[in-house]
Amino acid sequence: MSDEEIPRVYQPTDSPQVESTSSQVSEVNSIPILIDAESQRGRRRRSSIFDIGGANSINNFASSLQRSANFGKLTATNTDTISTNENAVCNSPLLSPVSSGSHMNEYETLYQPQRRLNEVPLPLNSSDSETHIPTESTPLIFDANKNIDLPFDVLVGKSTAQQTTFNSVNVLIGLGVLSLPLGLHLGGWVLGTFCLTASALSTRYTAVLLGRVLRKQSELQSYYDIAKFTLGSSISAIVFVTFAIDLFGAAVSMVILFSDSFSATFTEIKPYYFNVSLCALLIFINLLPLNILSFLSFIGISCTSSIVILLLVCGFIKGDQSPGSLLSPMPTNLWPSSLKNLLISVGIFMAPWGGHAVYPELFRDMRHPSKYEKCVDSAFGFSYFVDLLTGILGFLMFGVKIDEEVTRSILTTSGYPEWISKVLIVLMGVLPIAKLPLVSRPLVTFGDQMFGSVFQKLIHKEETTSTQSYSNNATTGDAKLYTFSIKLFTRILISAAFLIASLLITSFGKVMSLLGSGVCFTICITLPVLFYIIEFKSELKTRELSSLYAIIFVSVGLTICGTTATLMA
């Protein structure tokens, strides 16, 4: 590639004379940053309106959403280009990507050993720092054993701050928002609002702590990596089981929500028919590729947002006829009726904030991880507003008669226009179908791997006992058939487990409370604080360390008390 084909952007600096790999470079007053010429031309001719906006185009937002939907499989260190601009297009072929999920190799692509360049300050106007200037003879791959300090920012992920915030909101605003009016009823206005606010602030704080651990240990990619690094392999297995319980509980709650919504309208049909229908449909949906399931995630976001808007519309459209009207609110309670109800409400308020398992991967997928805390603040602030608004609206509209899901209260209350129930039924039908495959995807993947491993062992045993190996007998079609059979068996087994659990536990509010108390407190508060203490213990002051231990003590106490109260309800 000639010089004319490579546009150069210069930034003034007072960098002294430095030594390149092949020749001495005299004192310079600028830092050249290579930008791919093809991406420059791509900016001038967009293929469609979905590419307008550069890094924040609709296509890039969709791509970011698809990566975030791939739970546990994000590749966070795909270094595609060099830039100091948040909105720069990241598709340069000049740099090789750094492999994700492992320690750096002997040679690193524009990386200083054990250091993320996006955290290295740009040494502008510095006369006492030695700066290495890329030239025609400078290799694109540097020896990791040499102390190389680059004077510009390297993009280590693909998602911009706006995309990361959007993905965070997608994680936080889920089905748990529908039970918040019930939580306010159980906890009362005073303590209920306090518990919801405390849940938001505490989980926001622990999400920031996870980011600090990841910033210090650049080789860690996921929540499970952090657990294994800080607590060891044996304890990390418990974390994996906790994840599985969380995902399983979330999936069961969606089946219950689907059944409750349709049975409230079609009263002549037995509720379990709807459970069976959704679980049977899930078998085939889970056979779809991930890119299609990621698109379903966007549909799920739209449905959840539409339900919140529809709730507000219902509050005004009914006039002064209660229940179900904001103009004529129902009687409410200021305080909880019992300690047991308060403990149950704590789990309900905690349930919407259970997205910490994804946050490490969102951090690694950021182009500029230094903006992570701002993204967390924006996402948690917006989600808190939506959660509080939903809880207040539902509690005012239905008061002490609020159902386990506010949507069911709307469907079972007369006086609304006919189109309200039709729209709500469509939304409640699409929402579980859109979210359930993504929630169950990690469980399906684990099942495929586990049963696939068992199948391989059986084949190996057959090869050792047979005169003719399986590989000689089996055709390509046979292998595909066996693979499909394993996938189908896994999906049938998981769907059957969802069905049985949803028939045994029919209370949506109870499932939400169990998830909040038993799982979310552990994943979102106890473990992140413990990770932070282990990683930064030598740097923490006594007062700060005592505060962190107090948080763990309170979290564990609420986990035990909340779970016990919910099971006894």
For the stretch 338-367, pLDDT in tens is: 999 999 999 999 999 988 888 998 899 898
Helix/strand/coil for 108: strand
* Least-confidence region, from 286-300, 388-402, 414-428: 286-300
The band of 399, judged by pLDDT with boundaries at 50, 70 and 90, is: very high
Question: Are residues 365 and 536 in contact, defined by beta-carbon separation less than 8 angstroms?
Answer: no
Going from the C-alpha of 309 to that of each of 66, 85, 187, 306, 421, the distances in angstroms are 25, 36, 24, 5, 14
Give per-residue pLDDT as tens, 244-260: 888 899 899 999 999 98
Share of the chain above pLDDT 70, in %: 67
Q: With 50 as the cut, is the pLDDT of residue 428 above it?
A: yes
The band of 208, judged by pLDDT with boundaries at 50, 70 and 90, is: very high
Say how far apart CA 329 and CA 326 lie, in whole Å.
5
Share of the chain above pLDDT 90, in %: 40
Q: With 60 as the cut, is the pLDDT of residue 458 above it?
A: yes
Confidence at residue 355, expressed as pLDDT on a 0 to 100 scale: 82
Q: What are phi and psi of 107, to 5 degrees?
A: -115, 140
Say how far apart CA 561 and CA 42 lie, in whole Å.
58
Q: With 60 as the cut, is the pLDDT of residue 287 above it?
A: yes
* 418/533: higher pLDDT: 533
Confidence at residue 35, expressed as pLDDT on a 0 to 100 scale: 41
Question: Are residues 117 and 81 in contact, defined by beta-carbon separation less than 8 angstroms?
Answer: no
- Mean pLDDT for 141-151 is 44
Give per-residue pLDDT as tens, 65-115: 555 555 444 333 333 333 434 444 443 333 333 333 333 333 333 333 333
Q: With 80 as the cut, is the pLDDT of residue 227 above it?
A: yes
Q: What are phi and psi of 419, to 5 degrees?
A: -70, -25
The band of 47, judged by pLDDT with boundaries at 50, 70 and 90, is: low
Confidence at residue 482, expressed as pLDDT on a 0 to 100 scale: 77
Amino acid present at 454? V
- State which of 82-86, 109-113, 171-175, 511-515 shows the largest mean pLDDT: 511-515
* 442/408: higher pLDDT: 408
Question: Are residues 207 and 356 in contact, defined by beta-carbon separation less than 8 angstroms?
Answer: yes
Q: What are phi and psi of 82, to 5 degrees?
A: -115, 130
Nearest 5 degrees, angle CA 38-CA 39-CA 40?
90
Confidence at residue 118, expressed as pLDDT on a 0 to 100 scale: 40
Say how far apart CA 2 and CA 395 lie, in whole Å.
68
Query: Angle between the 233-265 and 418-465 helix axes, to the nearest 10 degrees?
Result: 140
Q: With 80 as the cut, is the pLDDT of residue 271 above it?
A: yes
- Mean pLDDT for 527-539 is 95
Output DSSP code: residue 18: E
Q: Count H helices and E strands in the chain, helices first.
A: 20, 6
- Mean pLDDT for 274-297 is 83
Question: Are residues 448 and 442 in contact, defined by beta-carbon separation less than 8 angstroms?
Answer: no
Mean of pLDDT over the chain:
76
Confidence at residue 500, expressed as pLDDT on a 0 to 100 scale: 95
Say how far apart CA 134 and CA 95 lie, in whole Å.
13
Say how far apart CA 203 and CA 199 lie, in whole Å.
6
Q: With 90 as the cut, is the pLDDT of residue 156 above it?
A: no
Say how far apart CA 174 and CA 323 lie, in whole Å.
25
- pTM for the whole structure: 0.71
Output DSSP code: residue 154: B
* 282/75: higher pLDDT: 282
Q: Quick one: which of 193, 270, 535, 524 has its CA closest to 376?
A: 524
Going from the C-alpha of 542 to that of each of 110, 150, 538, 539, the distances in angstroms are 39, 37, 10, 10
Confidence at residue 443, expressed as pLDDT on a 0 to 100 scale: 86
Give per-residue pLDDT as tens, 491-502: 999 999 999 999
Confidence at residue 384, expressed as pLDDT on a 0 to 100 scale: 96
- Mean pLDDT for 422-437 is 88
Confidence at residue 57, expressed as pLDDT on a 0 to 100 scale: 57
Question: Are residues 385 and 312 in contact, defined by beta-carbon separation less than 8 angstroms?
Answer: no
Q: With 80 as the cut, is the pLDDT of residue 160 above it?
A: yes
Going from the C-alpha of 354 to that of each of 87, 150, 204, 425, the distances in angstroms are 30, 38, 11, 26
The band of 301, judged by pLDDT with boundaries at 50, 70 and 90, is: confident
Confidence at residue 111, expressed as pLDDT on a 0 to 100 scale: 31
Say how far apart CA 355 and CA 516 lie, in whole Å.
11
Structural domains in the chain, CATH included, are 1-69+77-156 (no CATH), 161-443+488-568 (1.20.1740.10)
Confidence at residue 540, expressed as pLDDT on a 0 to 100 scale: 93
- Mean pLDDT for 293-305 is 79
Q: With 70 as the cut, is the pLDDT of residue 196 above it?
A: yes
